[in-house]
A and B are shown apart, each in its own frame.
Chain A
Amino acid sequence: MSAKVCTTLVIGAGFTGLGTAIKLREAGIEDLVILERADRVGGTWRDATYPGAACDIPSQLYSFSFAKNPGWSRTYSPSAEIQAHITELAERFDLVNDIRFNTEVTTMRFDRREARWEVSAGRRTFYARTVVVASGPLSDASLPKIRGIDDFGGARIHSARWDNDYDFAGKSVAVIGTGASAVQIIPELVKVAGSVKVFQRTPGWVLPRVDLATPEAVKQVFERIPVVQQAARTALFVAHEAAATGLVWNTPVTSLIQQAGKLHLRMRVKDRWLRRQLTPDFRAGCKRMLMSSDYLPALQAENCKLITWPIATITADGLRTSDGLEHHVDAIVFATGYDVHLDGPPYRISGLDGQVLGEEWAGHPQAYKSASAHGYPNLFFTCGPNSGPGHNSLLVYVQGQIDYAVAGIRTIVEQDLRWLDVKKDVQDAYNASIQRRLRSTTWMSGCSSWYLTADGFNASMYPGFATQYLRQMQDFRIRDYEVASNAAARLWNIPRDVAAV
């Protein structure tokens, strides 16, 4: 048994995986490997190349505080710029050599005897004492199950796998979906396509997005005086935290945000019926807010039309709607979102006693502080159960998860532990409290969203301020865990797998 066992294996080389590696290095853990199924770093931003792709949280906040970018060109940077930033991070922190590209994790199991994770990727197997799951909350996408979808003879393009070779100029295009990606794609398509028909199922709340170019002078100040950039970031953070009072909790502030949404609609859309079609019937925040200033004008362009009839079926030439019409199009753009893996990562993870995570989590995933799951020792999740923000940058939350994982891994290394497994009762108490606190949130106010499982269980969002979340993540407590130590095993000369303390 001479297989190399590294200290930490990270799955995924997106923002999160790279951020984890940076912080692990900083903590003195050099012995790590990153597995990435693609041939480049970047994750979401490598894959989101559709026209108009950009973040909808200001870039200053949509980045790591420990690896800032003074040079963001705009308030909301376009996808290519974010991708360039991530690539630059990998180089700046010298991570590229630790990444195994074209390596897709298919299964992983905890080997109790050897106290290590055995991670399989195709024919290769990797061994590691600890694993950080950073394979992304929204990294898989598939075409929706619409009747007749396979019969379509034209181009089928998914927003998450954009076909940059397809020339939309003059084409008749259907866009299915009106979520976060759609509101970015539609204004761009309307500029080039012959016609754009937008098929909407449920309208979302749209707020204007003031996207300004960053003046050169400001970039230079950020570059030279990092404190100023940190101050700008803090100001944005506080502003987003304030929004939580309306977007996280269902309060009078929620109504105020809705008023703002309605005002925006009223200002941008003159026609009453169109306004009615675009008015959401759920509480603001219950689904992801849509941030766009050009979506509503684009819908009203001469070559664009919003269609709210249900899609009955897709045919060889286009789509049939339930009002009896067939819409002939050259291409269908599916802006239908991602496969959200509410039941845990889509690859098989088996734990201490051979139990399978996906089965345990089916319907009701549970973790402690979103990072540890009982029975799966030495494993740290990012973007785990109940870790999602409704009002703030995901990366702010991820940074807390990275700190937590690093603290756990350091504990394992420094105390020479065989494993660290969160206590069942601690995890249960934490989740009971989370579910209790979730009750008063907008997400539970009655809409159906991808935040909820089929039976309406919320295992994705964190009910609180980012500040609260970060505080809990900065507080790694070993007493929350059962530990098995190597020292004890050696001292008493007992078989290693019963050395739990």
Chain B
Amino acid sequence: MTMDMDEMLTKIKDRQWALADIDWDAPGVETISEDFKPRLKAFMADLCWIENVGARGFAAMAKKAPTPMIAEIYRYFHAEEQRHANAELALMKRWGMLEGDEIPEPSVNIRMAIEWLDTYADDMPLSVLGTVIPMLEVALDGALLKFLLEEVHDPVCHQVFEKINNDESRHIAVDFEVLDMIGHARARKLAIDFVSNLASPGLIVGALMYVPLLNRMRNNIVEMGLQPEKLYAAMSRFERLGRRGEFTHRVPLFQVLRVHSQMVVNSEHPYHLLANSMVKLSEYYPRALFRPIPTWFKELTYEPVSTGVKKGMNAA
């Protein structure tokens, strides 16, 4: 299933869009009921930050890419995740969820993810990043949008998510192609990467961050009155897409995540006891222990147009 990356890059360049392409004042705001707003806001805030986390993941991947062409593709994906975050922020603005210049606060679990990425991602080998990122993409990034569309009937929201989904389909195609390339590497190399990182603080902390993050999103979904099965379906997609690749099954971390996702998908599995207590525990994580929010985090903006330079922000 080898993909022509050259063609893919051209396609990516052809399909760029901007916030300015969307009429943010078009009718449809009234479709969001007042009592739904707080839950939607929490969901959107997390979603928006998950995009940002994905963005940071691609930034790390760009440095590890197996070919310059793929590095360039990741450079675009990094920006596209940022674009998704910006667009989602603009939706929140449109729905009156942001006061003035307010940028929603990331939840603890997101902050943990950010901190993890900022500390470890650049040092992770491709075989680790290249497995974790696809999981993040199918389970959260790509899938969450779909839930939203069932609950939200604002046409502008649909217009935005159609664009985002199109981007995501390209992300996922490349993600799994690269995962397969990783599987193609010598088994010895894969084993070494895996074993040497298994006990590394990077992966351990990573797991501690990922487990509650996932369950938190699951709980968010349930709170919005949606079926968690949707999330599970998305997660099994990870396994399905991975199975299509000829070599993907040889990636040890793929196997780990696959087994993990089976546990997540099974709501009866005792795993959820652990994961949910981790969500609760993380709420007690002392905020003071976080390092200051990295500056890349402040680049988010809902303004389609930027004139001049305002420090600390991409916008305005």
Contacts and interface: CB of A to CB of B under 8 A. Distances in A.
A322 B59 CA distance: 14
Contacts of A322: 16, 76, 79-80, 82-83
A392 interface: no
Interface stretch (B98-106, B170-178, B302-310): B302-310
B86 A328 contact: no
Interface string A316-347: 00001111111110000000000000000000
17 contacts: A195-B308, A281-B63, A304-B309, A305-B309, A309-B79, A310-B79, A312-B13, A320-B20, A323-B80, A323-B86, A323-B299, A324-B19, A325-B86, A325-B305, A327-B305, A327-B306, A328-B307
Contacts, number: 83
A448 interface: yes
Contact of A324 (B86, B118, B309): B86
Interface in B296-316: 296, 299, 301, 303-309, 311, 314-315
A326 B308 contact: no
Contact of A302 (B83, B305, B311): B311
Interface string A282-311: 000000000000000000001111010110
Contact of B83 (A195, A196, A276, A323): A323
B309 A273 contact: no
Given A320-B18, A322-B16, A325-B19, A273 B296 contact: yes
Contact of A312 (B18, B82, B308, B314): B18
A323 to B, nearest CB: 4
B28 interface: no
* Most chain B CB inside 10 Å of its own CB: which residue of A271, A304, A309, A448: A309
B294 A273 contact: yes
B38 interface: no
A273 B297 CA distance: 10
B68 A448 contact: yes
Q: Categorize the interface residue count of chain B.
A: 20 to 34
B200 to A, nearest CB: 21
Contacts of A172: 307-308
B309 A196 contact: yes
A326 B79 contact: no
Given A273-B294, A273-B295, A323 B79 contact: yes
B271 interface: no
A127 to B, nearest CB: 48
A324 B314 CA distance: 11
A436 interface: no
Contacts of A323: 79-80, 82-83, 86, 299, 314
A325 B304 contact: yes
A325 B18 contact: yes
A304 B303 CA distance: 19
B314 A325 contact: yes
A499 interface: no
Contacts of B122: 276
Nearest to A447: B68
A322 to B, nearest CB: 3
B305 A328 contact: yes
Contacts of B82: 309, 322-324
A276 B79 CA distance: 16
A433 to B, nearest CB: 28
Contacts of B87: 324
Interface residues of A, number: 31
Nearest to B87: A324
A272 interface: yes
A394 interface: no
B250 interface: no
Contacts of A320: 16, 18, 20
B285 interface: no
A326 B305 contact: yes
B158 interface: no
Contacts of A303: 308-309
A265 to B, nearest CB: 15
Contact of B294 (A272, A307, A448): A272
Interface string A184-223: 0000000000111100000000000000000000000000
Interface in B121-146: 122
A324 B86 CA distance: 7
* Most chain B CB inside 10 Å of its own CB: which residue of A276, A309, A325: A325
Contacts of A307: 314
Contacts of B303: 325
Nearest to A307: B314
A322 B16 CA distance: 7
Nearest to A446: B68
Contacts of A324: 17-19, 82-83, 86-87, 304
A313 interface: yes
Contacts of A326: 18-20, 304-306
A301 to B, nearest CB: 9
A274 interface: yes
Contacts of B249: none
B230 interface: no
Interface in B9-51: 13, 16-20
5 smallest beta-carbon distances between A and B, as pairs: A322-B79, A324-B83, A312-B16, A323-B82, A195-B309
A302 B315 CA distance: 14
Contacts of B86: 323-325
A194 B308 contact: yes
A300 to B, nearest CB: 9
Given A197-B309, A323-B299, A326-B19, 10 more contacts: A272-B118, A302-B309, A303-B309, A309-B82, A310-B75, A322-B80, A323-B82, A324-B17, A326-B304, A326-B306
A305 B68 CA distance: 26
A325 B310 CA distance: 14
Contacts of B13: 147, 312
B268 to A, nearest CB: 42
Nearest to B21: A324
Nearest to B118: A272
Nearest to A201: B75
Nearest to A317: B305
B157 to A, nearest CB: 16
B219 to A, nearest CB: 30
Interface string B243-270: 0000000000000000000000000000
A302 B311 CA distance: 7
A223 to B, nearest CB: 47
Nearest to B22: A324
A325 B315 contact: yes
A326 B80 CA distance: 14
Contacts of B304: 324-326
A327 B79 CA distance: 15
Contacts of B75: 310
B299 to A, nearest CB: 8
A328 B308 CA distance: 8
Interface in A248-281: 271-274, 276, 281
A130 to B, nearest CB: 43
Nearest to B304: A326
B125 to A, nearest CB: 15
A327 B303 CA distance: 10
Contacts of B295: 271-274
